[in-house]
Amino acid sequence: MLSKKNRETINQLEIVSIDDLVPKDHLLRLIEEAIDFSSDCRQNRF
């Protein structure tokens, strides 16, 4: 059985962006700027 606290939180929704989770000065952001991953994915499909 759900407690009163669980009933209040069960209807909540949180939308989070990956950009919000990764710090602005993180190494992966520099790598993402330097490498175009989208063209690499398209080439592997054809």
Please compute Rg for the chain using Cα positions. Answer: 19
Q: Residue 30 has what pLDDT?
A: 93
Mind listing the pLDDT tens digit for each residue in 9-33? 677 788 999 889 999 999 999 998 8
The per-residue b/e assignment along 18-36, b for 16 or more CB within 10 angstroms, e otherwise, is: eeeeeeeeeeeeeeeeeee
The predicted model scores a pTM of: 0.43
Phi and psi of 4, rounded to 5°? -60, -40
- For the chain, domain boundaries: 18-46
Q: Residue 17 has what pLDDT?
A: 92
| Residue 7 clears pLDDT 60, i.e. is over it | yes
Q: Residue 5 has what pLDDT?
A: 63
